Structure formats: C-alpha cells, structure tokens
Structure 1
Amino acid sequence: MNQATRSPTPTLRTQVGIVLIGRNEGDRLLRCLDSIVGQVETIVYVDSGSSDGSCAAAAARGVQVVELDRRRPFSAARARNAGFRWISQHHPEVAYIQFIDGDCEVVTGWLEAAAAELNQDAGITAVCGWRRERYPERSVFNRICDVEWHWGNVGEVGQFGGDVMIRANMLQAVNGYNDNVIAAEDDELGLRLRQLGGQLMRIDYDSTIHDANITKISQWWNRAKRCGYAYALVSSIHGAPPERKFVKEVRRTMLWGAIVPLSSILLAIPSQGLSLLLLLRYPLVMGRTILYTRERDFGWADSIAWGISCGLSSFPEVLGIIKFHRNQQRQQQHQIIEYKG
C-alpha cells in the first residue's frame, strides 16, 4: 500500500474509549471526570443508582450517561459491561477500552503510555500500571490500601484491577465481564483473557490516584469480607484444574479463619492449654509480613499496617465465604458487599 492510499494512524482521541463507573462518589467523581474529559472523544459514565447528582454532573461535562436498571442487583462487572456495550454499539471504531472507577482520577500521560504499549505489541491484551492512594496519611486503612496497590511486579501479570486498558476485540471475544461476579471481577476476566492467549502487562507508570476514604474498622472488615466472598465465588466458577483459581485462598482462609482458632479453643482444656499455642501463628505471620514489606522499601507505618491487616483478614474473609455458600444454598442472587457507607 503506498503512502497516498494508506489509512491514517488512529489518534489517542479516537483510538481509546473510557468507561467510568460510579455510585454516589460525590467530589471524587468530579475529580475523575475532570481528569479525563477532553482527552478522548468517547467517554461513557455508568451509574449504579446514585442519589447525589452524579448523572447530572457527568452530563454537564458532555459525557454520555447510562443508568443501570435498579430492579437488578448492581455490580462493577455489570456497570462496566453496560459501558463497553454502549461504546461497541455507537463507536465500533474504538480499539481500546480504559476502565476507571469513580473514586479514582487518571494520571496525566497514562492513556498515552497504555495505548503505546498496546500499539507496539499485538500479543498484549490488557495494560495496567500503579494505583496510588490519595490520602494514605489520613487513616491506617488508607495506608493498607496504598500498600495493596503497590504489591506486585512490572511485566507480565496474572490479573489486573479496575483501572485497566483492554483491547475491545478481546473483550468482545470473551463476552466482557461476568455480570454475576460481584467482587474480583477483574481477576475472573483476566483469567478468561489469558485462556484465549492474551498477555496481561503491568508497566512501570502511575495510572490512577485512588481515594479509598476508609476511616472505620467496620469498613475494613466489610472490605475483607467481600474478598472472602470473591474467593468463594470465583473458585466456584474456575476452581477446576488447571486453573484452580482461588482454591488455595479459600482453603487457607477456612483453615486459619475458622478451623484453627475454633479447634485451639475447644481443645484448650483436654490439651491443658497446649492447643492455644496454635494462636501464636497470627502474631508470627504479622511480624514476618511486616519485615518482608519493610524490605520492599515501604515505610514502617505502612509495613505495620499491612502486616496486621494480613494477619487478621482471614476472620472477616471466612465470613464472606460462609455468606457465599449460604446464598448458594438458598439460591439467592449475589449482592455487592458495601464498605464505603
């Protein structure tokens, strides 16, 4: 093909479409909108029953708004699918979809960096970067989130978070997210993308700034409970070999979140208290995790917060697993576990 007949290279503005999801995010949503409006031509905001004027705020900035039917349970997966399907229907020329949550804002340069990575290697299906917490100093729980966002390596990865850029044709090939997965929906999607031969890559670039705004232990508890629910749900779908997704995590959580503590207490009298020594495992895990986290160049405050969280999270997680199996037995629909209030 000569220069005169060659198709023009798509620009970032037309090549990338953004799907933004949210529910009563308030000022966080406004920051998110302001970080993306004007960067690309196609932006759709999918709202999950907000009552704070979120839809009006998005529409006022020229963003397409899709409101989910309130008669069906909300989930991030369902919202992302709705946004992706709208783009596929109205702007089929969009090659890459950037997903973003309403409590995040996109870092300047991220869209260009992610699109460049996909442009240069057709084998790469999805690109993620590093998420940063906006106010880690405001609460110990925000510190925990900030460590979590930086836990991983650059290069090929097995999963990504909610702020990721994915090839539209690969999303079509796997039929998007699974609407019924209410947590760890990104892990579940990433698994199916990898099964099709797609590579998931993390590049050494900040992608988003996140505002967790977790200030109460009850919020941390519910977030961990949601994690346990996700382990059980996704393992029920992909627990068979060879993937065995989250099977190990479910077994570990049940062991240390229920079996060991209950057994140590029930056997305390017949064992003359020796069974209580099993409970030493929890502070030992905390200490080991704190030291390992510190070795990865995290500060002491972050390392201690992360270590304690890892040592105790199996307790709320086991409740999430139990909740999943109870819902399955009763044939109840999966409902999102709120933690932000």
Structure 2
Amino acid sequence: MSVDVVLIGRNEGDRLVKSLASVMPQARRVVYVDSGSTDNSVAHAESVGATVVALDMSVPFTAARARNVGFAALMEAPEPPEFVQFLDGDCIMAAGWLDAGEARLRENSELGLLTGLQAELNRNITVFNQMSDVEWKRPAGEIDACGGNMMVRVLAFQAVDGFDPTVIAAEDDEFCTRLRKAGWRLIRIERDMCLHDGGHLRFEQWWKRAERTGHGFAQVGHMHPEYFVRERRRGWIYGLLLPFIAVFGAVSSPAVPVLVLGVYALSFFKTMRGLQGIGLPADEARRHSIFLTLSKFPNLIGMIRFHWRRLSHAQMRIIEYK
C-alpha cells in the first residue's frame, strides 16, 4: 500500500475518535491537521499514533489550507505516498476503502482523483441530516467534482498546486475544476467510502451552512465563470429579484405579490416531484422542498458577502455552522 491519509478537524469530539478508529487500521500513515480545537482532539490523535499538525491560527483557517498543510507534512516523510486520501474528521471510513481506491488509481494513470459512496450516519434524526444524505447520493462514473473526502494521485495534486487556501467553501469543487482543466480524469466508484456524522440538528446550523454554500457558489463561480451558473442564477432570481418585484409591484397591483408567490409555489412543486423521482417518500420530499426553496435566501446572503469581501479587499473568513 502507498496511501496515506490527511484527516482534518476542529472540535469534533467523539466524531474524531470514531473517525481515527476507522482510519488507523487501514492507513500506512495518518496526519491529523487540527484547526484550533479546544477539546481533547489533539491529545487523542497523538495517543492513537497519528502525526498531529496544528494549523497556524494567526491566519484565518480554511479546510483547503488544512488539507494543503497535511499533504505537505506527508511529503516530508522518508517514503512519501503515491496517493493521498483526504477525510474530514466527522467521517467514518468504510473498511477496505483505501485498498479499493488505490487499486482503481493504479489501473489508469489518467485518473487524478477518485471518490466513493457516502451516506449520513444518523440520517433520520432531523430533516437537515436527511437533506445532507440526499446530497451525498450521487451515481458512480465520471464526475466533474466531489466533496472533500477524496483519494488523489500525488502527481495530480502537485500539478495543480493543491487546494486554493483562500476558498472558504466549495474548495473541493474548485480543486476538482482545476484538475479537470489540467487534463486529469475524476471518477466515483461503486464502493462505500465513508459515513458522515454531520450533526445538523438545528435550523440555525442549516441556515449558516446554506450561507456558506452561497459564498462558495459566488467565489468559485467568480474564479471559474462556467461553474455554478444555475446555482448563482437561482440565488439572484429567487433570493433577490422576485422579492423585489413582489414588494415594488404591489404598489401598482396587489396581484403582483400573488403571482410571485405562485412562482415560488411552482419551484416548490417542481423540486418535490424531482425528489420523488429519485425515490424519496412524498412526506420527506415535501419537507426537503420547503427548505430547498427557502435556501435561496441564505444562499443570496453568502453570495453578497463574498462580493462585498472581494470588492472591499476584505479577508475571506470561513462561515462556521457547527
């Protein structure tokens, strides 16, 4: 085996304990990058044999920067790896995943990255966890991008200079986009990779996460204009344009706000039908559609926040939701 693991986390508590327990028996070497935890994350990682790297917190931390630092630490080893598995500290790796992933990467030198099947650990405790689980359910095959849990060929990672540390959300999409533009292929294989313990329990967490998602849409879309086009358009239309029309159109006719509500209702029912089409029960699809329709507002806030930061040359700081 020539796969090492970069595990990143911040105050993950018991989630990190479970994550390390799943990773340590499989990996040749594990680097845990800690982003200023105040719990016992560092002590536990050291106790199970992981190499711990503390991220410099004098600079605003991002997942991208943490992954880059972990990768650099692995490259300093006497026998650096050929492949690196990146894993978030709230994820439990499936048994046999590293061997399966390495085998596929060795089969084809054009593959720069692969990922596997992911699911939510406690899917049904909240509607927000259910929505995350649906996000993870993607078909196997050639892909444009994936989440941060991925196995990457070292040569490919080095060819694009790793993750962009200034990207605070959707940094994985941005990294994958540069890999594709550099000529590397990306795939998802039909193999369990990990369980995600997101712990999305409250509305406020969901709202902040949706804000961060919107920031990612805007930032990555600004860097790669062909990417997140539909997502950005929906944010501006449903989050800003339609409310503007409803408020100012009401001056001329009370029918205008009613028509705008009809547009939102149409979007809601279209989303619900789509979710039922992929197998979600009617009640679950209805609940998800409510929040997906509502998500355009926090998405818009995140998009505006990015552009304000960009135009004012302010620092890009992560939007925390845990």
TM-score, scaled to structure 1:
0.91
Q: Give the letter for the 1:328 counterpart.
A: R
Q: Tell me which residue corresponds to 2:110.
A: 123
| Closer/same/farther in 2, CA of residues 308 and 272 from structure 1, 3 Å limit | closer
Q: Which moved more, 1:38-47 or 1:299-308?
A: 299-308
Alignment check: 8 A CA contact 2:19 2:92 kept: yes
The aligned amino acid for 1:206 is D
Do the aligned residues in 2 keep the contact of 1:265 with 1:276 (CA within 8 Å)? Answer: no
The answer on whether the counterparts of 1:144 and 1:309 sit within 8 Å (CA) in structure 2 is no
Structural RMSD (CA): 1.3
> Are 2:219 and 1:233 equivalent residues in the alignment?
yes
Match of 2:21 in 1: 34
- Match for 1:47: what amino acid? D
- CA 1:157/1:30 → structure 2, altered by over 3 Å: closer, same or farther? same
Structure 2 distance, partners of 1:92, 1:169, is 15
Q: 1:271 deviation in Å?
A: 2.3
Rounded Cα–Cα distance in structure 2 between residues aligned with 1:37 and 1:159: 27
Equivalent pairs: percent with the same residue?
40
Whether 2:65 is the aligned partner of 1:83: answer: no
Supply the AA of the counterpart residue of 2:88: D
Kept in 1, the 8 Å contact 2:118–2:196? The answer is: yes
Give 1:222's match in structure 2, choosing from 162, 184, 208.
208
Cα distance, 1:301 vs structure 2:
4.2
Post-superposition shift, 1:276? 2.8
Deviations 1:96-129 (A, max 9, x none): 1100000001011211221111111111111111
1:292 maps to what in 2? 274
**For 2:162, which of 176, 193, 197 is the aligned residue?**
176
The CA distance in 1 between the partners of 2:96 and 2:229, in whole Å, is 38
Q: Which one-letter code corresponds to 2:69 in the other structure?
A: A
Distance 1:120 1:49, change over 3 A: same
- Cα displacement (A) at 1:289: 1.6
Q: CA deviation at 1:38?
A: 2.3
Q: Identify the residue that residue 49 of structure 2 maps to in structure 1.
A: 62
Indicate conservation of the 8 Å contact 1:143/1:305, yes or no: no
Kindly indicate whether residue 230 of structure 2 is the aligned counterpart of residue 281 of structure 1: no
CA distance in 1, matches of 2:19, 2:45: 10
> 1:307 is matched with which residue?
289
Contact 1:114 1:165 in 2 (8 A): yes
2:195 is aligned to: 209
Q: Given that residues 26 and 96 in structure 2 are in contact (C-alpha distance below 8 angstroms), is that contact kept between their aligned partners in structure 1?
A: no
Q: Secondary structure at the match of 1:44?
A: strand
Shift of 1:275: 4.3
Deviations 1:131-159 (A, max 9, x none): 11111111111111111111x32100000
**Alpha-carbon distance in structure 1 between the residues aligned to 2:84 and 2:283:** 36
Match of 1:135 in 2: 122
Structure 2 Cα separation of the partners of residues 289 and 248 of structure 1: 14
Shift of 1:303: 2.1
Aligned residues: 322
Give the counterpart letter for 1:287 in structure 2.
F
Q: Is the 8 A contact 1:144 1:302 kept in 2?
A: no
CA offsets per residue over residues 169-219 of structure 1, 9 Å max, x none?
110111100000010000000001001111110111221101111111111
Unaligned stretches of 5+ residues in structure 1 = 1-11
Residue correspondence of structure 1 range 71-110 to structure 2 within 5 A: 71-110=58-97
Question: Aligned partners of 2:283, 2:18: CA distance in 1, in Å?
Answer: 28
User: Structure 1 residues 198 and 32 mapped into 2: Cα distance closer, same or farther (>3 Å)?
Assistant: same
Partner of 1:4: none
Find the aligned partners of 1:68 and 1:98 in 2 and give their Cα distance.
Answer: 19
| Aligned-partner Cα distance in 1 for 2:228–2:9 | 27
**Aligned 8 A contact 1:144 1:305 in 2:** no
Contact 2:22 2:92 in 1 (8 A): yes
Match of 1:186 among 163, 166, 172: 172
